[in-house]
Amino acid sequence: MSNSYGNVAHSVGLQKFINRRRFLALCAGAAATLVIASCGDKDAEPEVDQVTLAGSEIPAPGGDPLHSEDGRFYLINNDDELLALYTRCTHQGCTVGWKSGEQRFACPCHGSKFDRRGVRTDGPAKRPLDLMAIQPQPAGGLVIATSEITERSQ
């Protein structure tokens, strides 16, 4: 069947429903939705209420942090204190990553940076990373209470 659009069969109803302008508007809307969805990590909530770690899993003082994907935290040993830092950026909720060579945490979405204590050093975030409660165990291990998140102020 031949028509003004070439050798492609089409219905008049479909032609009225979607034209070039509507198609481009739909594509722009889909692209905007993807951009907005990538700014916030909707799955950044911890998947479990607590994580139990053996003493052998605790990072060495000054070493790279232990990352718990299920608990959504980094356990970092800063010589004088042990911190369980929530991986959610305090700017818009993206998941921060540890940059070993730079010895800091960085948000891939908007560029916020945090030191080994989770304190903001650069970027749009207004406050430090949140903390999760740490409960020492008699045998030397730890329980990280991922449901007990403390918001810190700058």
Q: Where do the structural domains in the chain lie, given as residue ranges?
A: 1-39, 50-150
- The pLDDT tens digits of the residues spanning 66-96 come to 999 999 999 999 989 999 999 999 999 999 9
**In DSSP terms, which residues pair with 54 in a beta bridge?**
none
CATH superfamily of 50-150: Rieske [2Fe-2S] iron-sulphur domain (2.102.10.10)
Q: Let me know the angle formed at the C-alpha of 71 by 69 and 139, rounded to the nearest 5 degrees.
A: 115
CA distance 90 to 121: 13
CA distance 78 to 65: 9
Q: Tell if the pTM clears 0.85, that is, is over it.
A: no
- The pLDDT tens digits of the residues spanning 107-123 come to 999 999 999 999 999 99
